[in-house]
Amino acid sequence: MNALPVADVVPATLPMDSAERLSTLVDLHYERLYRLARRLASGADEARDLVQETFLKAARSVASVPLDANAAEAWLVRVLVNIRRDQWRKAEVRSRHDETVRRSGTFAADQEAALVARATVWRALDTLTPRRRAIVVMRELEELPIASIASLLGISAITVRWHLSVGRRELARFLESHGERQ
């Protein structure tokens, strides 16, 4: 056939069935699309898959592919580039999702550690006498000034300081003894 492209030999007005049309598109544009896909993809197999996906889209809507060879090539190139762009987007979404899952796993571990620590502290507080526990909680957790604690409990500021000092020592002993086991 004088090495002329099929599109130049077969007039575009000649009616073709979908299979013939697709076969003609593959014959005419495969090499060009593969070269483009090879530049966009990381490997030869990925490039072949990209070209195959492009022709699959063309097969699903052969009537949408322009009859002119140059316009058909432009249409196929747009399809190939759009497919690759969608793949990149999906990869980016997966990457962000994986990062979120990874971080949430760390966050969950941090939350678990915080819950264990909180439970340990409350167990330690339960070992204190009620007055001492109230003073430690008001000072350390509620951050009330010593004068306010003394006023609320009807005791002197010196007594509040003494209970606070003894309570801190008792808590430290409890936490040291229970921290080694965990």
Global pTM? Answer: 0.49
Please give the Cα distance from 61 to 55 (Å, whole number). 10
pLDDT tens digit string along 70-113? 899 999 999 999 999 998 888 888 888 888 777 766 666 677 88
Dihedral sign, CA of 72, 74, 75, 79? Answer: positive
Please give the Cα distance from 24 to 21 (Å, whole number). 5
**Residues with Cβ within 8 Å of residue 47, at least 6 apart in sequence:** 34, 37, 38, 40, 41
Q: Burial of 149 by CB count in 10 Å (0-12 exposed, 13-18 middle, 19+ buried)? A: buried
For residue 107, what pLDDT is reported?
63
For residue 181, what pLDDT is reported?
46
Does 46 score more than 80 pLDDT?
Answer: yes
**Residues with Cβ within 8 Å of residue 74, at least 6 apart in sequence:** 66
Please give the Cα distance from 63 to 16 (Å, whole number). 11
